[in-house]
Amino acid sequence: MDWRGALPFWLSFLLIPLAWMAATHGGWTLLLVPLVTWYLFAALDGLLGLNLDNADPDTPDDDLTWHVALTTLWVPAQAVTLFGLIWYVTHAGHLAGWEKIALFFGVGVLTGTIGINYSHELMHQQSRFERALADLLLAMVLYSHFRSEHLLVHHRHVGTPRDAVTARYNESFHRFYPRVLRQSLISAFRAERDMLARRGLLWSNRLNPFWRYWTLQGAMLLLAFALGGWAGLGLFLVQAGVAIWQLELVNYIEHYGLTRKHLGDGRYEHVLPRHSWNAAHKASNWLLINLQRHSDHHYKPGRRFPLLQNHDEDTAPQLPYGYPVMTAAAMVPPLWRRVMNPRVRRWRARHYPEITDWKPYNKALTPMPR
């Protein structure tokens, strides 16, 4: 692959000057980042349609230089934008208090939709450098434990009661959100604690990555305070809260109502493409670096984003729209259920006709006690 194949994925970098424009002009420009991220790309999905083409999954990393550079360079770009804006708005006098909050709402959309998504790509790589970059991005939104939860819990237990992030059938986002905030932190800590215990070490051992998480997050908070005082710290917390909300909205829709078949004795079937919702919408996959090809990501977690394969309706359930539209629908539970519940029921009938009682699968998906 050459630079031309990577170019559409670099569209995310255009959001950074929009954030600075909003900071310097205020007013209606404060809407630019959310409007472009959510609505422009939703409109482009409608215009450009689906991308059903698949790259050769065996393409070597040496041919993906421009794709790797994208996620790598985003880290310093986001850091400069986030902390540069904290310094700028706390020292400039042209923005009212509500405008500063609105600006950092947009920054949270940026750090959540793009930053956390890029950290997701980076944390799945074998390179220590890339994983360290993932840690920096997550620390900027005070969600460092997402790395442990995602790699050690979610991928291993997706679609089972041990995965807090799998939204159960008929569970609204407004119930899912507070539940997953609490349970994912607990399950992430337990996963790291248990790994250390298997080596005969206590959770307090310096090898526990939570020490690194807390240190990085503390450093980000101190930097925000040093640059902008209490106001800067508050604005940092605003963007972090919005970013986390954006992440969990995506988590909610990715596996809603999809469960792996229980085989008995605590065992479940292997993860297959049919256990994640797939979306082939072209423009939003550019923005989200193929995150919507989530069925293949869970099937082959080690694949870099340009190599993720699109799965058709024969092998994976399909979302009717891309993530920008679906996350908006998730905020309105009656609309969400009207759109998605019939699709879940058809998925069950198609892949698991032998299961006649789904009540055990509809119970709250809470982590099993350890």
Encode pLDDT of 224-280 as tens digits. 999 999 999 999 999 999 999 999 999 999 999 999 999 888 899 999 999 999 999
Q: From 354, 172, 177, 335, select the one nearest 269 (Cα to Cα).
A: 354
Amino acid in the structure at residue 250:
V
Place of tokens 């194949």: 5
Q: From 314, 340, 344, 315, select the one nearest 326 (Cα to Cα).
A: 340
* CA 75 from centre of chain: 16
Mean pLDDT of 203-219: 96
Separation CA 66–CA 1 (nearest Å): 9
Residue 19 has pLDDT above 60, yes or no: yes
Measured in residues, the chain has a length of 370
Separation CA 69–CA 74 (nearest Å): 8
Mean pLDDT of 135-145: 98
The torsion of the CA quartet 305, 298, 142, 168, rounded to 10 degrees, works out to 140
- 179 within 8 A of 251, measured Cβ to Cβ: no
Q: Running DSSP on this structure, what letter comes out for residue 216?
A: H
Residue 365 has pLDDT above 80, yes or no: no
Q: How far is CA 363 from CA 161, 327, 360, in A?
A: 9, 23, 6
Separation CA 139–CA 132 (nearest Å): 11
- 310 within 8 A of 280, measured Cβ to Cβ: yes
Q: How far is CA 45 from CA 41, 50, 291, 296, 324, in A?
A: 6, 7, 15, 20, 9
The torsion of the CA quartet 61, 64, 68, 69, rounded to 10 degrees, works out to 130
Average pLDDT of the chain to the nearest whole number: 94
Q: How far from each other are the two terminal CA atoms of the chain, in whole angstroms?
A: 46
Burial (CB count <10 Å: 0-12, 13-18, 19+), residue 51? middle
Residues pairing with 50 in the sheet = 281
Helix axes 15-25, 97-110, angle to 10 degrees: 180
Both tokens of 355, joined, read 């299961």
Residue 367 has pLDDT above 70, yes or no: no
Separation CA 255–CA 158 (nearest Å): 8
Q: From 280, 339, 335, select the one nearest 312 (Cα to Cα).
A: 280
Give the tens place of pLDDT for each residue, 311-326.
999 999 999 999 999 9
pLDDT at 211: 97
pLDDT at 91: 95
Residue 287 has pLDDT above 60, yes or no: yes
Separation CA 142–CA 149 (nearest Å): 14
The percent of residues in the chain predicted with pLDDT above 70, rounded, is: 97
